[in-house]
Amino acid sequence: MLTIDALPYAYEFPLGRTALIVIDMQRDFLEPGGFGAALGNDVRRLAPSIAPTRALLDAFRARGLPIIHTQEAHRPDLSDCPPSKLERGRGSLTIGDVGPMGRILVSGEPGAAIIPELAPLPGEIVIEKPGKGAFHATPLRERLTELGVTHLLFAGVTTEVCVQTTMREANDRGYECLLVEDATDSYFPEFKAATLAMIRAQGGIVGWTASSAAVLAALPPLP
């Protein structure tokens, strides 16, 4: 077992059974003209998480470790989008509307794509999800079972919505979860801070948190 210097205490993980999950690092959330901006958010607040996430991707790729990317995206007819989800937000654009990067959060549209800096490589798993959590109505659990994964490291956006939801889903399914603090961001910094505190409260009720530097330091050196 390897050990990461984490909160609320050290996180132990078996290298061969650990995967990196990168949540929704999509143009619609991180770039001007996307869904995040249409809701009135300052998308620049998500930018700091890009470099740490790329460092994690590079490290996992170099060691041949499992990587899973998720994308929040819907069918073109929106048949997989709950009406309640369509009705909320009430920004200048909503899911399915045509924006500067194509139809908002629709599969195959430019805005639904993962940003170029973090684009998946061939062979990396990409899970399209209709909900906020990546386990709902997706094959994520089956893919993790096929890989023999028991431990999950999380990066992505936004901290308090899709990242936290997926982490809580994973926790309920028995996975040991760690959120990489600087590889996640929110449009609301206070929401990120609260989420990190909630995750590691009460002895790690949902899991652990640690910096990307601590994660990288815990990985074995390359040959």
pLDDT at 8 over 80: yes
At residue 114, the pLDDT reads: 98
Cα distance between residue 50 and residue 154, in whole Å: 13
Of 96, 191, 91, 177, nearest in space to 134 by CA: 177
Distance CA 180, CA 53 (A): 9
Which of the following is catalytic: 162, 177, 182, 185? 162
Q: Map residue 214 onto helix, strand or coil.
A: helix
Is residue 162 flagged as an active site residue? Answer: yes
Q: Which of 129, 132, 182, 185 is catalytic?
A: 129
pLDDT-based confidence at residue 84 (cuts at 50, 70, 90)? confident
- Chain centroid to CA 42: 19
Q: Is 177 a catalytic residue?
A: no
pLDDT single digits (tens) 174-218: 999 999 999 999 999 999 999 999 999 999 999 999 999 999 999
Measured at the CA of 154, the angle between CA 38 and CA 191, to 5 degrees, comes to 50
CA distance 157 to 185: 6
Percent of the chain with pLDDT over 70: 100
What's residue 146's pLDDT? 98
Task: Indicate the pTM of the whole model.
Answer: 0.97
pLDDT on residue 85: 86
Our answer to whether residue 81 is catalytic in this structure is no
